[in-house]
Structure 1
Amino acid sequence: MSTLNRLVLWNIDQTLVDVGRVTREAYAEAFQRTVGRPLVRLAPTPGRTESEIIFETLAFNDVVTTDDHLPQFVSALTEAFAARRGDLRTHGRVLAGAREAVEALSRVPGLVQSVLTGSVQPNAVLKVTELGLAAHLDLESGGYENGVYSKAALLEVARARAGERHGARYPEAATVYIADSPRDVQAARIAGSPIIAVATGSATEAELRAAGADRVLATLADTDAVVSVAAELTRL
């Protein structure tokens, strides 16, 4: 890659890491604390923001929501994740090639890496920190669930934050999102940025292509392919 201002935004869950067991346990605890009874059914999580998952989970479990439910649930979920810091290391795993891809991209001149995730910031930071991926990610520039914005809007937030922090412009075409779900593909399309979709979550390669991903990879295991595709998609 030539020296240009480029921004790579990583989805976290099922793109970089698998912490599904800890997530389910944390949601169950947060639901119990918020509602006062056990969780029966957790809403689908791929490509969704925390608030979407929470509201749908409450609906699935026949809870009539009030204005207090979301902040209470988010607070309880944050505390539940913090209490499971050790479990993230024990039961979580970095997906194949993710560490190597992040490290390889960190050596590209003019390229900044951050995250674009549906998780609230404390939980997102815990996931990548406890699994040893934070060193090459500018986590202050990330787009995180805040109860207001969609993932498409959060992509714009992340671009603006990165620009302010690094004194550079990161146009839509110079910002590539790497994620694993059709909903993430849709968010990138709305935001006008290219997306590399990896079939490491619940979606197949065919489903990701049908959703409109610019490039689809089976995994992140081929480091050279990840770097070259990121270069190709952000060539201005």
Structure 2
Amino acid sequence: MPRLVLWNVDHTLVDVGKVTREAYAEAFERVTGRPLVRLAPAAGRTESEIIFETLAFNDVAPTEDHLPEFMAALADAFAARKGAVRKEGRVLPGAREALAAVARRRGVVQSVLTGSIRPNAVTKLKALGLAKYLDFEVGGYGSETYPKAALVELARTRAAERHGGVIAEDATVLVADSPRDVQAAKIARARMLAVATGTATQAELRGAGADVVLPSLAETETVVAAIEELTATPPA
């Protein structure tokens, strides 16, 4: 039976925070005609949530056109900064090695489960040399405006259709860094490997109900062992 490993992008695999803030500022001004003063918190949230809250924080009353316009502007702003992503972004410790090691495991499909819109997630991971380990056609993205728990189920369906077989709930692992992601995994009945590489502490991630909590992805063997254990078929 195939196993599905879904990786959060920002603060789990990579850090491109400076570029993201610059892209948001450009997109906000393009859509509203005003400078961005305050950007909404992003940890564990989808792009649609961040956009709507950012508009509210800056006293802009949202209309039905704001979301698609903002997403398009954000994609353009990010695409124009590919060079900056390569120069100023960074792969977090152990992320590349973990992706490579999991990719070598038998019967594993790897993709992303991210609040970022799809073009920006792809830009980040391609620019930083991680794309070759991931099947982007399977992933769940913030541009789809679903809650993250629904994105997990959508990714399962896509993986089954693309790679054959059925992806069982307990054969799905989400690797991410926020309590919101832990909650999404629990709702979707996926297993959860949490890493304290974002703003949440290990204690906060355990308290949210993560199955396994690690300080980072730096210990490759530990990461692979955790994924193997989480997706192991329980004894009859």
Once the two structures are superposed, what CA deviation does each residue of 1:91-147 show, in whole Å capped at 9, x if it has no partner? Answer: 000000000000000110111110000111111111111100011111111111234
Structure 1 consecutive aligned stretches of length 4 or more whose deviation exceeds 2 Å:
none
Question: Secondary structure of the equivalent of 1:139?
Answer: coil
Amino acid aligned to 1:21: K
95-104 or 145-154, which deviates more: 145-154
Residue in structure 2 matched with residue 60 of structure 1 by the alignment? 57
Letter in 2 for 1:127: K
Instruction: Give CA-to-partner distance per residue, 1:152-195, whole Å, 9 cap, x none.
Output: 00011111111111012111100000000000000001100010
Residue 188 of structure 1 corresponds to which residue in structure 2?
A: 185
The DSSP-based 3-state class of the residue aligned with 1:31 is helix
- The residue aligned with 1:76 is 73
Counterparts of 1:135 and 1:71, CA distance in 2:
29
SS in 1 for 2:12: coil
Equivalence for 1:234: 231
Q: For residues 143 and 62 of structure 2, what CA distance do their matches in structure 1 show? A: 18
Residue aligning to 1:16: 13
Q: Which amino acid aligns with 2:145?
A: V
Distance 2:62 2:161 in 1: 37
Say yes or no: does 1:27 pair with 2:27. Answer: no
Contact 2:8 2:174 in 1 (8 A): yes
Q: How large is the Cα RMSD of the aligned pairs?
A: 0.7
Q: Secondary structure at the match of 1:86?
A: helix
- Amino acid of the residue matched to residue 97 of structure 2? E
1:213 paired with 2:210, answer yes
- After TM superposition, the score normalised by the length of structure 2 is 0.97
Equivalents in 2 of 1:137, 1:112: separation in Å?
8
- Structure 2 residue 83 is the aligned partner of structure 1 residue 86: yes
Counterpart selection for 1:138 from 125, 135, 138: 135
Instruction: State how far apart, in whole Å, the 1-side matches of 2:39 and 2:114 are.
Output: 19
Deviation at 1:5? 1.6
Shift of 1:148: 3.2
* Kept after mapping to 1: 8 A contact 2:140/2:152: yes
Deviates more, 1:161-170 or 1:179-188: 161-170
Task: Look up the SS of the partner of 2:142 in the other structure.
Answer: coil
Aligned counterpart, 2:4: 7
Greater CA drift, 218-227 or 4-13: 4-13
Task: Report the counterpart of residue 196 of structure 2 in structure 1.
Answer: 199
TM-score by length of 1: 0.97
Provide the residue aligned with 2:115 in structure 1: 118
**How many residue pairs get matched?**
233
CA–CA separation in structure 2 for the residues paired with 1:75 and 1:113: 27
Which blocks of at least 5 consecutive residues in structure 2 are unaligned? none
Instruction: Tell me the percent identity.
Output: 67
